[in-house]
Structure 1
Amino acid sequence: MKTVTRRAGLLMIAGAAAASTLSAPTGAVDVSADPAFAAIAKHRQASADHLASIYAYDWAERGTDAYYDAQDHNEVCCHAARDAAWELAATIPTTLAGVAAVLQYANEVEDEGDEWPDTDTIGADGWHYQLRQAMAAAAANLAA
């Protein structure tokens, strides 16, 4: 008997959920209907921008205008990535495919060694708590 890993299980759920939201004419998932996909895309882009700003800052010659500009840009990108992460945690998916996508994406980010904001915070102020609340709200809405 084959053991199903957590990731494989999520992929199976995501696939089943995506299949249930297929549009008949095109066979494509309508991701525009679920805000979770936009929140994932926003965080993915903000994280990529932040990483690029880190490289630019690291490569700039210390003490130059370019260095200080890169430092300022890095700080802006860092805040944008953090804000996008919080927005993702607070976004309530409207489809089962959205719930699965958010949970899978959160695992992918952590598997890559990245961290979510305030991961040391326990309770209602923590990022993971907010994410669980949003997913619970989505599940309740979808069950209704």
Structure 2
Amino acid sequence: MEPNTTPNELDVTEFALVFEELTRIIIRLPSVEKLSFTTLSVLHTLSRKSPMRLTELTANEQVTQSGITQLVTRLERDGLVERKPDPTDGRVVLVHITAKGADVIDSRRLDRIAQLSAFMEGLTREEKETVAAALPALRKLGELGNRTRT
């Protein structure tokens, strides 16, 4: 692929390729909790935005209404989420993450941190400093991306 920049600019194509590779690695890191990507995505979403309506989860996770309903039913059976009526509208059901569901997300994050720490030992001090300096901009990029999806 051709770079999409001039000197000293961000090559968005290279950025996308690097993040695709890092995302692929992070998603596939071994973990004690072996759950599907969609299951983990729903739990992660609920860990940040619980409670949510099923329709919100459907839109956020980009799955069908029947697919999210089946998934939430399985997660509820496993004690990872629970459904409760919306106190402001009895016709609406809200999906809440349970403490057990939050523990799954927390344990996976701790496992990922430990494994990424080992990978980072392969970086030089200067490379680690460069990654650290980029974190505020990457955080803001994530915030901007989340704003456009809600």
* TM-score after normalising by structure 1: 0.31
The structure in which a higher percent of residues are strand is 2
Task: Give the structure, 1 or 2, with the largest relative contact order (CA under 8 Å, sep 6 or more).
Answer: 1
The structure in which a higher percent of residues are helix is 1
